[in-house]
Amino acid sequence: MASKRRVTLDEVVVFFEELEDPRSSVNRRHPLASVIVIAILAVLAGAAGPTAIARWADLKADLLLGLLDLPHGIPSKDVFRRVLMVLSPASFQACFASWLQSLRTEAAAQTGVEQPILAVDGKTLRRSHDAGKGLGALHSVSVWASEYGLSLGQVACDEKSNEITAIPKLLSLVDIRGAIITIDAMGTQKAITERIVAGGADYVLALKGNHETLHQAVIEHIDEQLEGELSKAQEHTTIETSHGREETRTYLQLSAPRELPGFSLWKGLKSIGVATSRCLRDGKESVEVRYYISSLEVDVKRFACSVRGHWSIENGCHWSLDMTFREDESRLRERHLTENFAWLNRFALSLLKQHPGLQSLVMKRRSCGWSDTFLMEVIAGSTC
């Protein structure tokens, strides 16, 4: 494995120097870039809000004053809260673009993956609702690079049903060229396939009742093929055994027939597929069947990898955010503050994922809080 180039915290600060400061110039005592870098460090170390960021910064004053431009000392919790409340989430996220690109380039070199799977899915911050102000819980859609362990972008929307309009916005924020985009049935929309193909990517999209006619036509066509010799189809089976459970997954992929309803309206449509999961646990069997449309040529192992890779956004990203970052327990409610902090969590998770240590994510995050050396290794050593 290639060695990583070490960088200083000064090089991290550079990523945020062009970000426009939305604060009033009156009594603006703390450089914006320094405030943001402290927030990232504190979140890596376990902070879950502005008060915790300020407390961590106070305890680490000797370290921070020696590394960052802090002419008036350590900022107060009100400074961190105000900055995260007034920063536009889109602008805040955009200033991470260069850093993310460097992480993505390094991850591609380390893994050898040339066509990454970019899983798109939504997540609700369950305790972010504010009944007094008529605000529901914040729902956001994000892109997760499965093989790289990187969160590449997020867009907030008020409800899960609004994912349809949020996904195109999200895809416009991320370089999707050469990738395979995977989305569940909510995002299986003609306009979204056009956006994906125009961006130079392929797609594997799930089918359900929201496209009942197409869904049923795909089921019937595959059933017809299963009754024959499957001469033009490819099949792949995997078996996994763990924790007293045996799961057999069977994938079937074949060319999409032009007779499918609306075939010409689905940009780049080339294949259809089905994934069947049979799980045996404690003598009981459960079966789940999912159908897909795709712009990929028939290559069932790549199709299987895409289907399986999509669920890493649940297991590798959303589950980690809830279990390691306790995101579902957060009571932050102001919209910009909540969205910006959600992004800090995702970016911190990405940095922890890039660290080569064998410890669990929970232990890595604790180590960031315990050891300044380890913290610097995560934030600087992962930036190449």
Distance CA 44, CA 46 (A): 6
Contact 42, 56 (CB under 8 A): yes
Tell me if 107 is assigned to some domain: no
Tell me if 330 is assigned to some domain: no
Q: Which two tokens stand for residue 379?
A: 């934030």
Averaged pLDDT for residues 345-367: 94
Same-domain status, 27 and 135: no
pLDDT tens, position by position, 195-208:
999 999 999 999 99
Averaged pLDDT for residues 237-258: 91
Question: Closest Cα partner for 200 from 185, 173, 220, 181?
Answer: 181
Model confidence band, residue 139 (pLDDT cutoffs 50, 70, 90): confident
Same-domain status, 125 and 146: yes
Instruction: Give the domain extent around 21.
Output: 9-100+336-381
Average pLDDT, the chain: 89
Distance CA 219, CA 294 (A): 15
Question: Could you tell me what percent of the chain has a pLDDT over 70?
Answer: 92
Same-domain status, 172 and 263: yes
Model confidence band, residue 137 (pLDDT cutoffs 50, 70, 90): low
What pLDDT, on the 0 to 100 scale, is given for residue 1?
36
Distance CA 170, CA 187 (A): 12
CA atoms within 13 A on the CB side of 33: 17
What pLDDT, on the 0 to 100 scale, is given for residue 128?
63
Tell me if 229 is assigned to some domain: yes
> Is the pTM for the entire model greater than 0.85?
yes
Which residue matches tokens 């990523």?
15
Of 319, 345, 371, the domain-final residue? 319
pLDDT tens, position by position, 305-342:
999 999 888 888 989 988 999 887 777 768 789 999 99
Tell me if 13 is assigned to some domain: yes
Contact 349, 320 (CB under 8 A): yes
Same-domain status, 157 and 122: yes
pLDDT tens, position by position, 79-127:
999 999 999 999 999 999 989 999 999 999 999 998 999 999 988 876 6
Number of domains in the chain: 2
Same-domain status, 252 and 344: no
Contact 120, 318 (CB under 8 A): no
Least confident of 151-155, 162-166, 188-192: 162-166
Asked whether residue 263 carries a pLDDT value surpassing 90, the answer given is yes
What pLDDT, on the 0 to 100 scale, is given for residue 9?
80
Q: Which two tokens stand for residue 123?
A: 């997540």
Same-domain status, 85 and 126: no
pLDDT tens, position by position, 274-297:
999 999 988 888 999 999 999 999
Same-domain status, 134 and 240: yes
Which distant-in-sequence residues (6+ apart) come within 8 Å of 87 by Cβ?
Answer: 19, 22, 336, 340
Same-domain status, 149 and 235: yes
Same-domain status, 224 and 150: yes
Same-domain status, 119 and 143: yes
Tell me if 108 is assigned to some domain: no
Tell me if 153 is assigned to some domain: yes
Same-domain status, 203 and 64: no
**CATH code of 194's domain:** 3.90.350.10
Tell me if 324 is assigned to some domain: no
